[in-house]
Structure 1
C-alpha cells in the first residue's frame, strides 16, 4: 500500500473580491450605495432610506439635499422587482415634502409611476406608486400629465384592489385630477360610478368620504347624474342620510344629492321613489347648520328650472324653507331666503310663501347681519312683485 500524499489546497483566484458586509451609520454613505451595480446592495440601501425618511420631514429634506431623489427615480424602473419596489416605497413617502414634489415634477416622473400601476405589479408597488401620484396631483401640471398620459384607466381599475391603501390612494388621485373639468368625461367613460358606489360601503370612513367627494365633483355633469340614477346611486345616498351612524358623511352625501336636484329628470326620479320627501324631512329634522345651508342652496339651484319648481311645489318645499328661517344661524337664513326668492318664479309657491313667510321676512329686516337684511329685502321684493295679495 502506497504512502498518502497530502493534497495541496488551491489558493482562491486573485481577481475575486471577498464578500464585505458594509454597515453605515450615515445617510450620505447609503445614498452613495444607490449607485452600486449590485441588486442586493441597492435593495438594502433603499430599505434603509425608507426607514430614515419615515421618521420625519427633516430626514426627507436631508435625503433631498444628498441627491437621493435623482437616484431613486432611476431605480423605480430597475429590472429587479425588489429594488424597484423598495425605491418606489422611498419616493412614495418622500413625495409628501413640497420640495421633493417640485423636483419630481422637474424629473418628469409621472409616466414612470403610471407604468408601475400595471396589473402584474405587486400590491406594495401599487400602493406607493399611487401614493406618490396622489401627493403630486395637488399641482395642476401633474393633474394634466396624469390625464394626458393615460393614468386614469389604471387608477379607476385599482379602485377594485383588495388593499384599502391602494383604494384610498387611487381614489384621492382620481378626485384631485377631476378638479380639472376636462377630465370628467374621460372618467365617466371608464365606468367609474359602480366602483365609487361600492366604496360607499367601505369599512374605512376616509374611503367613504373620498368616494362622496369624487361623486360630488363628477355629478356636476348631467350625464353622470343619469348614470347615478340608473345604478341606484340616489338610493345609496339617501340611505346614508337615513343612517345616524354615517352622520359624519351627511354633508357630503347631501352635496351629491344637491347636484342631482338641478336636473329635472333626476329630480323627478327622486320624487317618484319618495326620496324627495325623505330629503326634505331630513333637512327639517337636522340640527347641523352646514346641512341646512347646503340643502337650501341646492333648492335654489334646482329652482332655476321651471319644471323643477313645479316638482318642489308639489312636495311643499315652502314649509321647509320657512322653517329654516327660524334657525339661529345667519348663513342658514341667507341660504333659505335666496331659495325663497328663486321659488317665487312659481306663482303657486309665491302665494304659499306670502301667506306663511311675509311676517318672518319683515322681522328679519331688523337683523344685525347685513347679508340677512339684504336677502330678506330681495325675497320681499320677489314675493310682492305682481302680487297685490302679498303686497297687502
Structure 2
C-alpha cells in the first residue's frame, strides 16, 4: 500500500513525504519535529482507516507506543492527529489489549477537557467506547476509582454496607480476573484499616481466604500488595490481635521466601508492624529471624533496610529474639551493614547490635564493632549519629572495646557529637562518653579532645543539660585525677592516687592542662614547682 502524507497542515508549508512502507512512517513518530509528527499521524490515520488488517500491521510495527506518547504532546495538532489514530485503532481486539497494558485510559479521558478541539473530543470518546466493549476495562476503571476513594473511612463504611467486599472477594477468587487482582487487593487493603471490617472478614472466613490467596499467589505485585495490606491493618492493636489469631506470621514468613524483592521488603515491613503484638514477636523467632538475617545480605538496598528495621523491632525488649539473631549467625552481616548506603539500614543494624549487647555473653561474642562504628559516628544523619553513640555506650563497658575505639580514632567524632543541637544525639553522646571514661587512658584522651570543656558548657545550660551530662563530667574527672585536682582543688575519699599523678596547681577555666609529656619538654622557669607522685623505681 502507498502511504501519502503530502496533505497541507496549517500553519506549516506543505511537505511532500511519500513511502511505500508503513514502517517508514512509524519511524517518523519519533521525530523531534512537530510538523513531521503531525503529518505522520495523519498518514497512519488514513492507513489504519482502510481496514483491520492495516491496524494489525501498525500494531506489529510498534506504532501504538509512540502514538500513546503523542496523545499528550504539547502541540495541539499532533495531539489531535494522534487521538484520531487511537479512536479508530481501538476497534481492534489486539490493539485494545495493548492499550490496556499501557494504561491509556487516564490519558484519553484527559483529552475530553473543554479546551480541547471538538474533533479530539469525538475521537477520544470513540476510543473509550471501543475500550468499554470489554466489561473488564470498565471493572479496572471502577477498581482504580475505589482504590482512591476508599482512603476515606466514610466511603469504606458505605462500601461494606453495600456488600462491596463480597464483590471484591469474588474477583480475587476468579482466576480469569487475574488482571484485576492487584487493584482489587488495593481496595481491600484500605478496608482492612477498619476494625469492624477486620472482624467481619474474620467471622465470614474472608480473612483466611485473603491470607491463603496471598500465600499461594505467584504474582509479585499481589504478594507485595497483600503484605502492604497487612501492614496498614496492623497499625491498630485490635487488628493485630485478629491477625495473630489467624496466624498471620506463617503467611509473612512465606512471603519472605519469595523471589520478588518488593514482596520481601513489604513482608519485612509487615513484620515490623506486627511486632507491637508480643505474641507475634515471639512467633517470628524460630523461622522469621533466620530469614531476615539472610536478607541483610541482599543486593537490594530496600530489602536490606526493611530486614534491618524488622530485626530492630523484633529484638527490642526481647532477649530471646536477640539470642535468636546470634544463633542465626546474624552478627557478621549486622556489622557489615553498618557500612550500608541507606541511613535507615545503618541505624537499625546498630539498634539490633545494641539490643544484643544487653546480654553479656552476646556482647563478648561480638568483635570488631568499635572499628566499624566510627563511620556511623561521623554521619550527617541525626538518627544514625544517635544510634551509633548508643552502640558505643552499650559496648564501651568492656576495656578491650574502649581500646579498640581509641585505636580506631573513634573518640574524636564521639566528642564532636556533644556539640549536637539534637537532644537525643547529645544525650546518647554524653552517655557514651560517661561509659568510655571508665579508664584513665580513655578519660585523658577524651579530655585532650575537649570533652571536659564541652560538658561543662552543657551542664551550665538548663536546656542542653541531660541525665548523662553531669555523670559524664564526673566520670572524666574521677578517672583523670590530675585534671580533677587542678580544676576543682580537691579529691574525694574514693579517688585513689596512683603513680603518674601530678599536681600542676589550680588552672583557670578554659585553660588546658598540659600532659606530663608536654610539661617535661618545657625549659626550667620560676613558676610554681609541679609535684609528681611516682613510687616506682626508675628503670636503669
TM score, norm. by length of structure 1: 0.70
* Structure 2 residue corresponding to 1:162, chosen from 241, 259, 268: 259
Q: Deviations over 1:271-313 (max 9, x none)?
A: 2xxx22422432455444432322112233445xxxx433423
1:148 is the counterpart of 2:245: yes
Q: Using the alignment, how far apart are the partners of 1:193 and 1:361 within structure 2? A: 42
* Structure 2 residue corresponding to 1:218, chosen from 302, 314, 320: 314
| Structure 2 alignment gaps of length 5 or more | 1-133, 486-540
Aligned equivalent of 1:370: 462
Q: Using the alignment, how far apart are the partners of 1:299 and 1:387 within structure 2? A: 21
> Which has the greater radius of gyration?
2
C-alpha contact (below 8 Å) 2:455/2:472 kept by paired residues: no
Q: Deviations over 1:63-83 (max 9, x none)?
A: 753547733247627895337
Distance change (3 Å), C-alpha of 1:266 and 1:72: same
Aligned equivalent of 1:312: 401
Q: Deviations over 1:314-333 (max 9, x none)?
A: 42459634542234413344
C-alpha contact (below 8 Å) 1:76/1:85 kept by paired residues: no
SS at match of 2:254: helix
Aligned equivalent of 1:329: 420
SS at match of 1:330: coil
SS at match of 1:188: coil
> How many residues in Structure 1 have an aligned counterpart in Structure 2?
340
Aligned equivalent of 1:361: 452
C-alpha contact (below 8 Å) 1:69/1:91 kept by paired residues: no
Q: Which moved more, 1:200-209 or 1:166-175?
A: 200-209
C-alpha contact (below 8 Å) 1:76/1:84 kept by paired residues: no
Aligned equivalent of 2:435: 342
TM score, norm. by length of structure 2: 0.53
1:173 is the counterpart of 2:173: no
* Structure 1 residue corresponding to 2:304, chosen from 203, 208, 213: 208
SS at match of 1:315: helix
Aligned equivalent of 2:353: 257
Alignment of 1:262-277 (within 5 A): 262-271=358-367, 275-277=368-370
Post-superposition shift, 1:158? 1.4
1:187 is the counterpart of 2:301: no
C-alpha contact (below 8 Å) 1:152/1:187 kept by paired residues: yes
Q: Using the alignment, how far apart are the partners of 1:252 and 1:208 within structure 2? A: 10
C-alpha contact (below 8 Å) 2:214/2:222 kept by paired residues: yes
Distance change (3 Å), C-alpha of 1:360 and 1:91: same
Distance change (3 Å), C-alpha of 1:71 and 1:283: closer
Considering only aligned residues, what root-mean-square deviation do their CA atoms show, in Å?
3.9
User: If each structure's helix is expressed as a fraction of its own residues, which one has the higher value?
Assistant: 1
C-alpha contact (below 8 Å) 2:189/2:230 kept by paired residues: no
| Structure 1 alignment gaps of length 5 or more | 1-40
Aligned equivalent of 1:299: 392
